[in-house]
Amino acid sequence: MAKAPYWLFVALLLVLTALQYRLWVGEGSLAQVTDLKHQIAEQQGENERLLERNRILEAEVLELKKGTETVEERARHELGMVKEGETLYQLAE
């Protein structure tokens, strides 16, 4: 059985080294994939938070379109408004 040429062994070793480099350090490496998975998880959490905020805002808009009760409540709490014929009593502590 003849021995393989030395240059073939060196070439295969270089190819193996290049592939290992890409696996651990280069583009698409395990570290980069892990980092991207972490970023995806963070973005999904942010998306869920924003979806919940949108649902709340949508419900508030529908309520404002539907009736005057919410408008009155906001006027009372935020602007301190009083209906005609009502008396406002403020208690100081």
- Determine the angle formed by the axes of helices 30-66 and 6-24, rounding to 10 degrees: 20
With a cut of 70, say whether residue 67 has pLDDT above it.
yes
pLDDT for 54 equals 97
Q: Burial of 61 by CB count in 10 Å (0-12 exposed, 13-18 middle, 19+ buried)? A: exposed
pLDDT in tens, 2-60: 566 888 888 899 998 888 877 777 777 788 889 999 999 999 999 999 999 999 999 98
End-to-end CA distance of the chain: 103
Contact 89, 83 (CB under 8 A): no
- pTM for this structure? 0.49
